[in-house]
Amino acid sequence: MPSQTTAAPDGSFASPVVVVGAGIVGVASALHLCRLGYPVVLVDREGPAAGASYGNGGILARCSILPVATPGLWRDAPRMLLSRDGPLFLRWAALPRLLPWLIRFMATATPARLDAAVRALAPLLLDSLDQHQALAEGTDAAPFIRPTDYVFLYRDRAAYERDCLTWTHRHAAGLTWRELEGEALRALEPDLSPMARRFGVAMPDHAVITDPGAYVEALAEAVVAAGGRFERAMVRALEPDETGVTVRTEGADLRASHVVLATGAWSDRLARPLGATVRLAAERGYHLELAAAEGGPRHPLMDAARKMVLVPMEGRLRAAGLVEFADLEAPAASGPTTVLNRGVAELFPGLRHQGTSTWMGPRPPPTDSVPVIGALPGARRVIAAYGHQHIGLTAGAATGRLVADLVAGRHPNIDLSAYRPDR
């Protein structure tokens, strides 16, 4: 029996673990806890995979070990913001509220801070395929995992060589790749425009989740099958005491032995009163889906110039990426979707499809790009698991395992100090 959960006199559990947030991190945490024998209540205001866990690029990107802010960002950000096809958008009305976060974010774009972020991110990402396969084993989620190469596209070899900082860090982390130029790139991606991109890098041991929303929903169903429970509710506050946590919701309150806080971009409002000092920004991502696409990519692609991914999924092609800074509840803009459309047309001019759909949702980026994982200073029974910026899907399975270890009083196999909520 897990040692830290309050038990009734007959040996049964008196209070469940309440997991707040049913994205990939919350659902992975809930499933790992169920497998350890904990009673679990999974709570979300909408349902499993209602936010970024639905709309992400779908790639298990073990190579994404660099932080969002890298040296040179001060030089590159204005160009990205002003470029017609740039990957960066800003709602100027939100700038006064965003400015404190942006200043701290830009201050992390130094070699020393980059090295620290890489050391923190690598343990969450490098074995992501194995972590997800173990998480999904024996569930209806397993068929959605498709191992594949992940291909980075560059305009030419010179553009690749200018990105040497990225590849130096990947090499140091043990990642491998093969260079593709001319006919080698055409053989891998025969429909790619030879005028648009002439150089590529193929990285093995990655994977695509062929339907991210359905994948997370299937994992949530596995939680219920393992004895967990799902409740749809808005959590208003967390009130810890000596024996547990009262979870205040818009309906009936819940009593928990522990709480896992995994509400992504909305985590600040619950974590801050309990001692979290890491701040999140309202950064939104967009995707464009092309139904029944033909004449497109055969592999997941990252276009390095546009910071856009193109991912073949079940029955459609998804183009995703870009960054928009805006208020959390602001409506979607048309500009990012227009840029995605132009990017697809440039790379694959012969692509045909049977209709489009779009999506926008918030990501939860800390200023240092490092997720928040660990007990909150003002409530040791509340375990933070949020702030995964652009790597939530990739790192979700590993984070869920770490969270289950913390609830169970086990010592995780990595040093968690870099992820502290009060760093």
How confident is residue 393, by pLDDT bands cut at 50, 70 and 90? very high
Q: What is the mean pLDDT of residues 393-411?
A: 97
Q: What is the dihedral of CA 327, 261, 220, 369, to 10 degrees?
A: 60
Residue 87 near residue 394 (C-beta atoms within 8 A): no
Please write the tens of the pLDDT for every residue from 120-139: 999 999 999 999 999 999 99
Quote the radius of gyration of the chain (alpha carbons, Å).
21
Per-residue pLDDT of 207-236, as tens digits, reads: 999 999 999 999 999 999 999 999 999 999
pLDDT band for position 13 (cuts 50, 70, 90): low
Q: What is the mean pLDDT of residues 292-316?
A: 97
Burial class (CB in 10 A: 0-12, 13-18, 19+), 250: exposed
pTM: 0.94
pLDDT band at 54 (very low <50, low <70, confident <90, very high): very high
DSSP string, 117-168: HHHHHHHHHTTHHHHHHHHHTTSTTGGGEEEEEEEEEESSHHHHHHTHHHHH
Give the Cα separation of 300 and 319 in Å (integer): 10
Residue 259 to residue 273: CA distance in whole angstroms: 15
Topology annotation, domain 69-109+147-206+281-363: D-Amino Acid Oxidase; Chain A, domain 2 (3.30.9)
CA distances (Å), origin 99, targets 2, 9, 280: 44, 53, 12
pLDDT of 216 reads: 98
Measure the CA–CA gap between 356 and 337, rounded to whole angstroms: 11
Q: What's the whole-number mean pLDDT along residues 46-58?
A: 95
- What pLDDT sits at residue 12? 43
